[in-house]
Amino acid sequence: MGMKGTITVGSASGGGAEAEADPEEMGVPFQAHYVGIATIIMVLMSLLYTFFFLKYGESAHTSSGN
């Protein structure tokens, strides 16, 4: 078959503590997290604005006292 294999032994760095996972290694670029967070905030702010506009807003036909 002509196959050969090698084993490389080296020292472990970090003393057993795991390094923090990089989001890009998990398959999602880091900028996408900011886009998702900004989208959620934008939707919540739109709902909040709509709530206050409907609750405290005034229609042109509701004025009285001419």
Q: Whole domain around residue 40: which residue ranges?
A: 29-55
Residue 20 lies in a domain: no
Residue 49 lies in a domain: yes
Q: Which tokens hold the place of 62? A: 């509701």
What's residue 50's pLDDT? 92
Instruction: Name 30's Cβ contacts closer than 8 Å, sequence gap at least 6.
Output: 23, 24
Please indicate, yes or no, whether the overall pTM of this predicted structure exceeds 0.85. no
Residue 38 lies in a domain: yes
Summarised one tens digit per residue, pLDDT across range 7-63 is: 888 776 555 567 777 767 777 666 777 888 999 999 999 999 999 888 888 766 666
Residue 34 lies in a domain: yes
Residue 37 lies in a domain: yes
Residue 13 lies in a domain: no
